[in-house]
Structure 1
Amino acid sequence: MKIGIVGATGYGGADLLRLLHQHPKVNEIILYSSSQEGVHIHESYPHLSTIYEQSLNEINVEKIAKQVDIVFLATPPGVSAELSEPLVNLGVQVIDLSGDLRIKDTEIYQSWYKRESASQSIIDQAVYGLPEWNKEAIEKAKVVANPGCYPTATLLGLAPLIKANLIELDSIIVDAKSGTSGAGRSPSAITHFSEMNENFKAYQINKHKHTPEIEQILQQWDEGVEVITFQPHLVPMVRGIMATIYAKAKAPITESDLRKLYEENYQQAPFVRVRPEGAFPATKEVYGSNFCDIGVTYDKRTGRITVVSVIDNVVKGASGQAIQNLNIMNGWEEQTGLAFVPVYP
């Protein structure tokens, strides 16, 4: 299969190239960039110098459609809104790593993203690419909206509780932390070294654009969900997300029953690992991998369930999950090209 990556100079695009290079079903990768056309990728990422020798290509939809079978759009918001539909119309499979195709209601998208949405027709075609809970739809999809990093960790952590109707739906609080790579490669005042080193900060309080994405999927699982409290933080590390999720249980439950629930829900999910009773994951334990590790407990004193869900935001939260969707869309084994262990320490 021939693969195209649009937005190859961002962190997500570079990680896609790293992972796809060793994918057994991929025999050619072509990189496209609007900002660095004609430049070699190793000028931005020297660590990729031996695996890709061509210069970056211009973004021309007609040319792309003739060159590749599937395109990953690892682009900032707004770009996929323009490129996805013409690519799909030309017969190219599309996996979008931006947020342009995730929100079904265009008014909600425009309110949170502060920009024009993609056309309703391409949004309606896009399948939400959370493989553990949407595999059958992904298998038939021509265009997949790859979930955001925070939503991936949060939804995988919450799904068993929502599906089993175990929690008060108005009690959900998600306290999430991310490494700075989640903000992308462009430097900013909030992420450069002197601002983040030995620092820890909350940001986009009550207005992070992943909030409606999380709520949309929760509402699909249980229409009783209205809103949640979601608050992200930046921590002084490069990769990783930890979502610590709190919710009021409808009735007392044992920790062993909770763990059994999660194990049953994820027994066919190769990239979700449920921790033993009383054990909780750390971000370093999934670093560089496509795993989501989950620990869960019940506090008898407060009646609340606590879920700790961790992922690598660049892999399971972006490039790795996108390749997982590629595998499912094409009928390949889900773990193809992704069956590697985390990097530790």
Structure 2
Amino acid sequence: MTHRIAILGASGYTGAELVRLIATHPDMKIVALSADRKAGMAMAEVFPFLRHLDLPRLQKIDEIDFSGIDLCFCALPHATTQVVVSALPRDLKIVDLSADFRLRDPAEYEKWYGQPHTATDLQKEAVYGLTEFYRDDIRDARLVAGTGCNAATGQYALRPLISAGVIDLDNILIDLKAGVSGAGRSLKENLLHAELSGGTHTYSMGGKHRHLGEFDQEFSKLAGRPVHIQFSPHLLPMNRGILATTYVQGDARVIHQTLTDAYATEPFLQVLPFGALPSTRDIAGSNYCHIGVIADRIAGRAVVVAVLDNLTKGSSGQAIQNANLMLGIEETAGLTLAPMFP
């Protein structure tokens, strides 16, 4: 059975990544694409790398007939999505790639995003979209909230360790490096080539990064008590990828074995042999996450390094993985393509 798919916000990076992946999906067909300022244009005009595909023209959201659509991906800006999703048919399956439904507590959403949530009924309905840990809930969900790409990377490194109680919960530091596509496609002065190339930049330091809301929510739920990590994000002049170096207190061998056991049957999560560390070039353009563990020279301390592609496993690939579950499709369908190299 071929499922009919709509993508809202198809003119952004995550929208284009959804199109790229669905183009070879055996059970999905794109029947509607939306954009705001680029409505009326062909996708080949917006993204020439997609010109070989036969795709519908971009249109306004209110011009789309959702009656024959099985699932809708929302790749829209934060705050915009909650308004749009509220107006969509209540029987339509939706995977949202924005931040609007990630946080369960409306007060936490307002704290991190600076404005009240306008669709709290939908916020209660949404299932958090970290596939490997919410699989059963996602299968039965109508609305799934995709995770933040930084939040996904850190959680893959830490969730099994928190659940198993093998690290000190009060001494966790994530030092994260992210590619520039994570900032979106909108024009920003600090992302100009002359401003970004040749340097490394910190951003949202000192506990200000919005993905900390997800870390707080998920890690505290796992531990059964408040867990607040240190998080130091950096922007690198590369197009894709996230590398999270996580510093923890615990036995490195036990940590490695815990992660190995936790992800032994996961198709997209690969734990490297003890002492081997991953690189962002190993996962570029793919739905894979690689994790490595080494012991620190200081006894009782370890380093966990996780890498993934922010546009794929951190966003659009994760969204398709969730959509596969929601539609009763094989979870890995359309997502087993090898990483790009070099």
Do both proteins adopt the same fold according to a TM-score greater than 0.5, normalized to the shorter chain?
yes
Aligned counterpart for 1:58 among listed residues 57, 60, 63: 60
Q: Give the TM-score normalised by structure 1.
A: 0.95
What is the aligned partner in structure 2 of residue 73 from structure 1? 74
Distance 1:266 1:242 in 2: 19
Query: What is the aligned partner in structure 2 of residue 272 from structure 1?
Result: 269
Give the equivalent residue in structure 1 for 2:135: 135
1:152 aligns with 2:152: yes
Paired with 2:334 and 2:57, the residues of 1 have a C-alpha distance of: 25
Alignment of 1:39-54 (within 5 A): 39-54=41-56
CA–CA distance in 2 between the matches of 1:299 and 1:178?
24
**Residue 152 (structure 1) shift:** 0.8
Rounded to whole Å, the distance in 1 between the matches of 2:225 and 2:247 is: 17
Query: What CA distance in whole angstroms lies between the structure 1 residues aligned with 2:65 and 2:104?
Result: 27
Q: Over residues 296-336 of structure 1, what are the superposed CA-to-partner deviations in whole Å (9 max), with x where a residue is unaligned?
A: 12336242221100000000011100000011112221110
Q: Which moved more, 1:94-103 or 1:331-340?
A: 331-340
Show the 5 A alignment for 1:96-135: 96-135=96-135
Q: In the alignment, residue 43 of structure 1 is paired with which amino acid?
A: E
Gaps of 5+ in 1: none
Letter of the 2:152 counterpart: T
- Percent identical pairs in the alignment equals 37
Could you say what the CA RMSD is over the residues aligned between the two structures, in angstroms? 1.4
1-structure distance, mates of 2:102, 2:326: 17
Work out the number of aligned pairs and report it.
339
CA contact (8 A) 2:43 2:50 kept: yes
Q: Give, in whole Å, the separation in 2 of the partners of 1:296 and 1:236.
A: 26
Out of 162-171 and 287-296, give the one that drifted further.
Answer: 162-171
The farther-off stretch of 279-288 and 206-215 is 206-215
Q: Deviations over 1:85-126 (max 9, x none)?
A: 33251x110000000000111122112112332422101110
Deviation at 1:173, TM superposition (A): 0.9
2:166·2:255 contact (CA, 8 Å) conserved in 1?
Answer: no
Q: In 2 relative to 1, CA 143–53 (structure 1 residues): closer, same or farther, beyond 3 Å?
A: closer
Unaligned runs of 5+ in 2: none
Q: What residue number does 2:278 align with?
A: 281
Instruction: Return the offset for 1:224.
Output: 2.2
**1:198 matched to 2:195:** no
- Cα deviation per residue 1:47-84 (whole Å; 9 max; x = unaligned)? 111213432111128x4422411110001101211122
Residue 259 (structure 1) shift: 2.3
Contact 1:169 1:225 in 2 (8 A): no
State the Cα deviation string for residues 19-41 of structure 1 (Å, max 9, x = none): 11110001343101122111111
Residue pair 1:294, 1:308 contacting (<8 A) in 2 also: yes
Question: 2:40 and 2:13 mapped to 1: Cα distance?
Answer: 19
* 1:132-164: CA deviation from partner (whole Å, max 9, x where unpaired): 111111111110001110011000100111010
Inter-CA distance 264–158: structure 2 relative to 1 (3 Å threshold): same
2:304 is aligned with 1:307: yes
Residue 101 and residue 254 in structure 1: after superposition, are their counterparts in 2 closer, same or farther (change >3 A)?
Answer: closer
User: What SS class does the counterpart of residue 171 from structure 1 fall into?
Assistant: coil
Aligned partner of 1:329 in structure 2 is 326
Aligned-residue offset at 1:235: 0.6
1:190 and 1:55 map into 2 onto residues whose CA distance is 32
What is the TM-score with the length of structure 2 in the denominator?
A: 0.95
Aligned mates of 2:252, 2:293 — CA distance in 1:
11
Q: Distance in 2 between matches of 1:32 and 1:60?
A: 9
Q: Which runs of 4+ in 1 moved over 4 A?
A: none
Check the 8 A contact 2:30/2:55 in 1, yes or no. no
Q: Which moved more, 1:52-61 or 1:35-44?
A: 52-61
Per the alignment, residue 39 of structure 2 pairs with: 37
C-alpha deviations, 1:260-307, integer Å up to 9, x for none? 211210112100000011100000000000000000123362422211
Aligned mate of 1:16, from 12, 15, 18: 18
Cα separation, 1, equivalents of 2:87 and 2:186: 28
SS at match of 2:334: coil
Corresponding residue for 1:298? 295
Counterpart in 1 of 2:171? 171
* Aligned position for 2:9: 7
Where 1:260 maps in the other structure, the secondary structure is helix
Return the letter of the residue paired with 2:325. I
- CA distance in 2: counterparts of 1:259 and 1:179, whole angstroms: 27
Moved more, 22-31 or 312-321: 22-31
